[in-house]
Amino acid sequence: MTPGDALRLVAVMVLWAACYPLIAAGLDLAPHVTFAALRAAIAGAVLVALGLALGRRLPAGRAAWGLVAIAGLGATGLGFLGMFHAAEFVAPGIATVVANTQPILAAVLAHAVLGERLGAAGWLGLAAGFAGIALIAWPGLAAGVEGAVLGLGYVMLAAAGVSVGNIAIKRLAGRSDPAMAMGAQLLVGAVALALLAGLTERPAALAWSGEFALVVLTLALFGSALAFWLWAAALRRVPLNRANAFTFLVPILGLAMGAAFYGERLGLPEAAGAALVVAGIALVQRDGGRRLDATPADAPTPRATRPPPPR
């Protein structure tokens, strides 16, 4: 991994960590799914317009567009739907922690779809990650906080969608221009969200204001367009599990933002759960990037391929 790739990934994590407070700020200003659809539509349109201005091409072929559709419905459609609804029930810092268990889910999918090995450390990480989720959720569940189960369900829906979407984005890497591919998948997700908004909300009831415009534009331009572009560009050269390792930063940043801007007070269960989640993700990623059919770097050279000894 080059320093440039590492900087891109760090920038993505900072942008994603800032999304939940911004979503929470806009929830009182617009219907949830309409808000999510606007964010995706603006981000996708900006990326496609920028790509066209730079002379880039849209993805070509059925396979590429199939991956675009999966990424759009998963990372953008389910991801945004879960995040925007969860923010109503779960505090921003906690939501960020739980949502970023997605590398655990992605590791399972990567094992099945991409052929990446999940060793003993990885399975231990899965157990630790799910134990962390239970610890984080426990105070709200024990206190009977209204909507706690529903809110965590929405967060996990987002995590599952993002995990599936990331597999598709990794498959797209190297086949399509990052800006155009990410713009296209954002627009696919925006269409799905707009259809759902039309069925479940009253989009026409949205009252535009300077505050809402600032929130949705910031989320669209920085939390979506720029973040997805940098993420896809990095995945062209970095294995998915190695890139996902950088999401270790997101829970820490999310909790810090929750404490700084929302006055969240984290008790021992939340702190212990967060530590278990981060440790679980770290263990899963310990084997990151190695394929089932790959030969370990330290494997002995087969006898048949060894050069003859010097005479």
Domain ranges within the chain, ordered by starting residue: 17-290
Res 262: pLDDT: 66
In whole angstroms, what is the distance from residue 26 CA to residue 15 CA? 17
Res 301: pLDDT: 37
Pick the more confident residue, 146 or 84.
84
Whether the per-residue pLDDT at 74 is higher than 80: the answer is yes
CB 175 within 8 A of CB 58: no
Answer whether 0.85 is exceeded by the pTM: no
What is the rounded average pLDDT for all residues in the chain? 79
Res 96: pLDDT: 59
Whether the per-residue pLDDT at 77 is higher than 90: the answer is yes
3-state DSSP helix/strand/coil percent for the chain, to nearest 5?
75, 0, 20
Mean pLDDT score, 53-73 = 94
Res 250: pLDDT: 74
Task: Return the closest-CA partner of residue 132 out of 97, 89, 172, 177.
Answer: 97
Whether the per-residue pLDDT at 307 is higher than 60: the answer is no
Task: Annotate 245-274 with b (16+ C-beta within 10 A) or e (fewer).
Answer: bbbbbbbbbbbebbeeeeebebeebbebbb
Whether the per-residue pLDDT at 116 is higher than 70: the answer is no
Mean pLDDT score, 5-29 = 84
Mean pLDDT score, 215-222 = 96
Res 296: pLDDT: 40
Res 148: pLDDT: 60
For the ranges 15-24, 240-249, 289-298, the maximum mean pLDDT occurs at: 15-24
Q: How confident is the model at residue 126 (pLDDT cuts 50, 70, 90)?
A: confident
Check residue 144 and give left, alpha or beta (phi > 0: left; psi -120 to 50: alpha): left
Q: How confident is the model at residue 27 (pLDDT cuts 50, 70, 90)?
A: confident
- Secondary structure string (H, E, C) spanning 203-261: HHHCCCCHHHHHHHHHHHHHHHHHHHHHHHHHHCCCCHHHHHHHHHHHHHHHHHHHHHH
